[in-house]
Structure 1
Amino acid sequence: MSTLPPAFLAASLALLMPAAMSPLLAQTAPQQAALSDHAKAENKAERKPSAESAQPQAAPVATANPAAQKGITGKAIDKVKEVAKSAGDIFSRVPCLPPKGASKSMGSLPRVASKLVAGQPVVIVAFGSSSTAGFGATSPDFNYPNRLAAQLRRQYPTADISVVNAGKGGEDAPEMMKRLQTAVIDLHPDLVIWQVGTNAVLRNLDPAETAKHVEEGIARIQAAGADVVLIDPQYSPRVNEHAESAGKMMILLNKVAELRKVGVFPRFAVMKDWHEKQAIPIENFVIADGLHMSDWGYACFAQLLGDDIIKSVGQIKLGVTVPADVRAYRPM
């Protein structure tokens, strides 16, 4: 009576591993305290070999029972995919919450609202520097313009909404003004979301000069008929090293917004709230360079910005005109 070779037994055990391991993955993934990009990258790296290893191991027993083995392997792969999908949900472990005490709107967006009501295409241009371009995101899908586009399309499923990413790393108001016409106005936008001021702070440029450029730019955008929302600098270690300049920048941007009657999404205050009031570690929303946002940071920023846009559009649809309120998200 012959005995099975040890190599065959080892191979047979290996075949069962994907199906056996997948429930363990399903139990482990929700328990991880992952939020930083580094942690998510490790999780993906651990799951990917499991899915890949399931396929080549199916070949040795294909002649014995192809249907049964296909079912086992298929279930293992499906389970791994489910785990990966769950882990890919950025807000599955730490939700994206608005700042505590927030109750004010950033103002109305009449152009966008009127286009949506009329069933006409809506063009949004995200104008800015590297945090608009999405530096620090692990994929273009996770930059804020793409996350915002996905949210608005879910909210308005029958609308034709385009979000154009006009972010260019390293720039601030002087460089942006040089391409304002071609990168923004020539696209005939209905809304321009202008992220500005961070690089000026890091370069120790005069905040007053930045404010002058921004005021001129807003005037040109408004003359083209578009709504405008300003995005101020981010709360991050690199920016916080220039606290005095950053403070002046935000004050001046708010004054310009009030003068030109446009909204401001106060990114600095929102991110500060994440850390100081919601107790989220900075490394969970800022990458290792101490400046740029992580996947979660971009996603939550986009979510809150999108919520404000949806609220503003809803007010116009109801016939309520709300003036731009640059005190949005300030503590009550």
Structure 2
Amino acid sequence: MARLPGMLLLVALLAPAARAETRACISPPELLDAGAPLPATVRAVAGRSLRILVVGGISVLGPGTSGPEAAWPARLQALLAARRPGVAFEVVVRGRRGINTAEAGALLAEEMAKAPAQLVLWATGTVSAVRGLEVDEMVEALNTGLDAVKAAGADAVLIDPQFSRFLRANANVDPYLDALRLVAAAHQVPLLRRWDLMRYWAETEQVDLERAPKPERVAATDRLNDCLAQAMAALLRAGAAEARDQLRN
């Protein structure tokens, strides 16, 4: 039971209490279900220091936002810091345009060798779908990367592609989405279902980047990144609860 306070700390840290300047993004609860525990994250927060490594393509860098502070990894860091100012949060982002899963895995390994993180957030799948790369190649790279994260004693969260009507019309995305879900389940890591979340936000007219008028595009992009940060915070809260339940049992 010694670790329970740390787990409760993370649950409190990521509680959905809204900041005054942040509008809540409504999401189906089932899309924010972690389905797996985040014990390394809990231990790090209990120790008052959490290093988060975000790896992926151009989306992790916040293209089209009003500035670097509006990208979803930066917004996530701000949300976490606002809830627990006594914890040192460091969010390191590594990504570039056009990077595939294997290349992202190499970036992940390089960064973990330099300065290990306790939590890895890995956004992937879009480039593979756009280029029609072999699904098995993506899965192999994910397996290698996730095994390395586990061996380092860290947690991982996978993030599937951004929803796009254009991508859906021009690429067969479903096999990549299905593969990511299967890999996440096999490795017992949470999956942020970004595709389904963004589709829901578009259908409910909360934020629809593709149909935003040009003068409103930057504001819509900022809003989307804020919604993604809120969703990730909720997923982390669920993963902390999973870890707490495991300890109790």
Q: What is residue 246 of structure 2 aligned with on the other side?
A: 321
Structure label with greater radius of gyration: 1
Q: What is residue 238 of structure 1 aligned with on the other side?
A: 166
Distance 1:103 1:202, change over 3 A: closer
- For 2:30 and 2:240, locate their aligned partners in 1 and report how far apart those are by CA, in whole Å: 22
Give the one of 193, 205, 221 matched to 1:279: 205
Give yes or no for the alignment of 1:104 onto 2:33.
Answer: yes
Distance 1:207 1:285, change over 3 A: farther
Aligned AA for 1:168? Answer: R
Deviation of the 1:134 alpha carbon:
1.3
Contact 2:100 / 2:124 at 8 angstroms: preserved in 1? yes
Matches within 5 A, 1:95-174: 95-99=24-28, 102=31, 104-117=33-46, 119-174=47-102
Distance 1:153 1:238, change over 3 A: same
Distance 1:101 1:259, change over 3 A: closer
Matches within 5 A, 1:256-275: 256-275=183-202
Q: What is residue 11 of structure 2 aligned with on the other side?
A: none
Aligned AA for 1:225? Answer: G
Aligned AA for 1:153? Answer: A
Give yes or no for the alignment of 1:190 onto 2:118.
Answer: yes
Contact 2:61 / 2:71 at 8 angstroms: preserved in 1? yes
Contact 2:94 / 2:107 at 8 angstroms: preserved in 1? no
- For 1:234 and 1:208, locate their aligned partners in 2 and report how far apart those are by CA, in whole Å: 20
Once the two structures are superposed, what CA deviation does each residue of 1:117-148 show, in whole Å capped at 9, x if it has no partner? Answer: 2x241100011110011112120010011000
Deviation of the 1:152 alpha carbon:
0.9
- For 1:189 and 1:281, locate their aligned partners in 2 and report how far apart those are by CA, in whole Å: 32
Distance 1:285 1:224, change over 3 A: farther
- For 1:179 and 1:102, locate their aligned partners in 2 and report how far apart those are by CA, in whole Å: 28
Distance 1:249 1:185, change over 3 A: farther
Contact 2:48 / 2:86 at 8 angstroms: preserved in 1? no
Contact 2:207 / 2:223 at 8 angstroms: preserved in 1? no
Aligned AA for 1:191? Answer: L
- For 2:198 and 2:211, locate their aligned partners in 1 and report how far apart those are by CA, in whole Å: 8
- For 1:281 and 1:181, locate their aligned partners in 2 and report how far apart those are by CA, in whole Å: 34
Contact 1:127 / 1:193 at 8 angstroms: preserved in 2? yes
Deviation of the 1:109 alpha carbon:
0.7
Gaps of 5+ in 2: 1-20
Give the one of 171, 175, 181 matched to 1:254: 181
- For 1:217 and 1:152, locate their aligned partners in 2 and report how far apart those are by CA, in whole Å: 26
- For 1:112 and 1:296, locate their aligned partners in 2 and report how far apart those are by CA, in whole Å: 27
Gaps of 5+ in 1: 1-88, 323-332
- For 2:149 and 2:26, locate their aligned partners in 1 and report how far apart those are by CA, in whole Å: 31
SS state at 1:294 partner: helix
Q: What is residue 305 of structure 1 aligned with on the other side?
A: 232
Per mean C-alpha deviation after superposition, the further-off stretch among 262-271 and 302-311 is: 302-311
Deviation of the 1:233 alpha carbon:
0.4
Deviation of the 1:107 alpha carbon:
2.4
- For 1:187 and 1:238, locate their aligned partners in 2 and report how far apart those are by CA, in whole Å: 38
Deviation of the 1:151 alpha carbon:
0.6
SS state at 2:226 partner: helix
- For 2:145 and 2:213, locate their aligned partners in 1 and report how far apart those are by CA, in whole Å: 30
- For 2:201 and 2:81, locate their aligned partners in 1 and report how far apart those are by CA, in whole Å: 26
- For 2:138 and 2:175, locate their aligned partners in 1 and report how far apart those are by CA, in whole Å: 11
The TM-score normalised by the length of structure 2 is 0.81
Deviation of the 1:185 alpha carbon:
4.1
Deviation of the 1:90 alpha carbon:
6.1
Once the two structures are superposed, what CA deviation does each residue of 1:145-188 show, in whole Å capped at 9, x if it has no partner? Answer: 10000111122221111111112222011222332322334321
Deviation of the 1:99 alpha carbon:
2.3
The TM-score normalised by the length of structure 1 is 0.62
Contact 2:35 / 2:242 at 8 angstroms: preserved in 1? no
- For 2:164 and 2:52, locate their aligned partners in 1 and report how far apart those are by CA, in whole Å: 27
- For 1:174 and 1:130, locate their aligned partners in 2 and report how far apart those are by CA, in whole Å: 15
Distance 1:281 1:298, change over 3 A: closer
Contact 1:284 / 1:294 at 8 angstroms: preserved in 2? no
Distance 1:102 1:259, change over 3 A: closer
